[in-house]
Structure 1
Amino acid sequence: DYFQALVDWPAQWVCVAFLVIVGLLNARGIKESLSANLVMTVIELSGLLMVIAAAVWFVSQGQGVPQRVFELDTASPATAILGASLLAFYSFVGFETSANLAEEIKDVRRVYPRALFGALLAAGAVYMLVGVGAAMVLPVDQLKDSQAPLMDVVSASGLGIPAPWFAVIALIAVANGALLTMIMASRLTFGIAR
């Protein structure tokens, strides 16, 4: 849905072109890939900060519903536990990827643990604020059924952020995840080959 907010092209061809572009960037080398990752991470973080700002704006206008944060669907606790487990697993896939690149770091014993735990704390704080903010702006059922929930939060907030801007940021975030996965896969293959 993020791409459809920009242009109406066939999804199959867009996916193929996207994978080719990310693959070519990965083939250029680790330095170029990590430089692109840094730029895309900053852009991705700006999108998450937009969601937080939109939620703060919405609540400051007296329109938010803070009680929604504490509403739980008790009808299916097993589904809630499974969903939370899946989300936690997906969240930590990126951190596991960093272990495959640890050999690229100078003074790895000092730098890597600090960077890893710092990233865990920062990501946890940002995603906690995004989740709480999103729940205050829109009902959880509406977020759950949406193909672009964060874009819906930004749009509903009335902050005036154009949907195409947010769609571009979301697409860059997806590209960043794909790039990191390809970097990890190529480094893992390289390590196995050695």
Structure 2
Amino acid sequence: MTQGNTTPATSLRRSLNLPLLTLYGLGVTVGAGIYVLIGVTAAQAGPYAWAAFLQAAIVVGFTAFSYAELATRYPVSAGESAYVDAGFGRADIATVVGLLVAVSGLVSASAITVGASGYLGNLTGAHPSTLIFGIVVVIALLAWWGITQSVMVAGIITMIEILGLIVVIVWGVALSERLGVSATDMVPPLLGGHWVGIVSATVLAFFAFIGFEDMVNVAEEVEDPRRTLPKAIIYTLVIATILYLATCVAVLMSVPMEALKGSSAPLTLVFAGAPETVQFGFASIAVVATVNGVLIQMIMVSRVLYGMADRGRLPAYFARLSARTQTPYVSTVFVALCILGLSLFLPIERLAGWTSQIVLCVFLCVNLALVAIKRRAEPANDHFSVPLLVPVCGMFTSGALLAASLL
């Protein structure tokens, strides 16, 4: 039942199955991270950049299992806000967490938009501001079109971007000239100052894994969420980790470090010596991949705003649904305008760093909420369950990485 001071005339449509939901998670995770940030990650961690991605995967892993349980206990939009509300019984804290999730999505989508404009600019030569404006408008129209149509389009694009990463891995390892570092040079010594750079790079690499938690915010549009959500979260994290580590190693082996550091289109450097058709083909895939991340983040944030408004935590107009498409059109327009403003005026490194810090704050609160719920020994109805140690580890790892990012 709708709470608050609004009762939308229509409800969200349950139409997402396990394959679509997994593709949704992979779409925002894969496109948002490795295509955009491997260059700035290598600038901080050097040849040990892959270790930063591995550390980020470990931090995310604990929290992913916490989300899997909470998403099946409370399968609603604006999930994090609902989880914190259930854990602490404080509407004010729940509202703050929900807003943090929305802000993280806005900042993340803005970072991806900047990355997409970099790849697209390499292809077209157009001015970045023009490209950013066009990307945001087109994606907003697609997000308004409908959840099934949007996620199906995103799913198709996700398959293309995963194929692109596989091409990078094969080309970088087997076909390109070895202009980067050797495999032995990628193994970090157990002690040394290089770990400062690796930990710093882990904060940026963490951004690459942001995405699995977005799935809980479309819970009201998922078929059988109590069974589908945990599987989709775990599949997304495992597949993304394998792809990231393999891609990172391939890029480090084939691209000179100085060229890689800070590149606005880092994966295209793998194909520097390839035929022009190969270079153009991969650049096109990279554009599609990064734009896909913008689409899925836009969908997620609009659902967070919808869910909070539906429960009376935000103004009622954010819960208004289009009678034609059954999508939250007011929230979608608002999100698009925010992304446009951030993308035009802030650099990608700052946007990615802010996103990671905000999401780590959310992860800390979500893990604490699950600890509180479990300590109350609430009955386990038909939902996925993890040991208490999982959210405790998630709480400490997220807190430690957040502290490291602020130093």
TM-score range, shorter chain: 0.7 to 0.9
Aligned: 1:108 with 2:225? yes
- The structure that has the greater radius of gyration is 2
| Conservation of the 8 A alpha-carbon contact between 2:217 and 2:300 | yes
Contact 2:154 2:292 in 1 (8 A): yes
1:108-127 equivalent positions in 2, closer than 5 A? 108-127=225-244
- For residues 103 and 24 of structure 1, what CA distance do their matches in structure 2 show? 21
Contact 2:178 2:254 in 1 (8 A): no
Instruction: Return the letter of the residue paired with 1:125.
Output: I
| 176, 201, 214: which one aligns with 1:83 | 201
Do the aligned partners of residues 162 and 33 (structure 1) sit closer, same or farther apart at CA in structure 2, a change above 3 Å counting? Answer: same
Q: Which residue of structure 2 lines up, in the alignment, with residue 56 of structure 1?
A: 173
Structure 1's 28 and 140: CA in aligned 2 closer, same or farther, altered over 3 A? same
Alignment of 1:1-194 (within 5 A): 1-58=118-175, 65-70=182-187, 74-88=192-206, 90-156=207-273, 158=274, 162-194=278-310
Deviations 1:154-192 (A, max 9, x none): 334x48762211111111111111001100011111101
Indicate conservation of the 8 Å contact 1:100/1:184, yes or no: yes
Identity percentage over the alignment?
A: 31
Distance 1:142 1:104, change over 3 A: same
Say what the alpha-carbon RMSD is for the aligned residues. Answer: 2.4
Q: Contact 2:179/2:256 (CA < 8 Å) preserved in 1?
A: no
C-alpha separation in 1, matches of 2:270 and 2:188: 18
Equivalent pairs counted in the alignment come to: 191
Question: 5+ unaligned residues in a row in structure 1: which ranges?
Answer: none
Q: Which has the higher contact order (CA 8 A, sep 6+)?
A: 1
Deviations 1:50-79 (A, max 9, x none): 1011023237x887732232257x555333
Distance in 1 (CA, whole Å) between partners of 2:258 and 2:184 is 14
What is the CA–CA distance in structure 2 between the aligned matches of 1:117 and 1:164, rounded to whole Å? 34
- Output one character per residue of 1:87-119: Cα deviation in whole Å (capped at 9) or x when no partner: 11x133211111101221112111111111011
What TM-score results when the alignment is normalised by the length of structure 2?
A: 0.44
How far, CA to CA, are the matches of 2:293 and 2:134 in structure 1? 16
The separation in 2 between residues aligned to 1:21 and 1:164, in whole angstroms, is: 22
Distance 1:148 1:6 in 2: 11
Per the TM alignment, residue 29 of structure 1 is displaced from its structure 2 partner at its CA by: 1.3
Return the alpha-carbon distance in structure 2 between the equivalents of residues 71 and 162 of structure 1.
33
What CA distance in whole angstroms lies between the structure 2 residues aligned with 1:35 and 1:183?
13
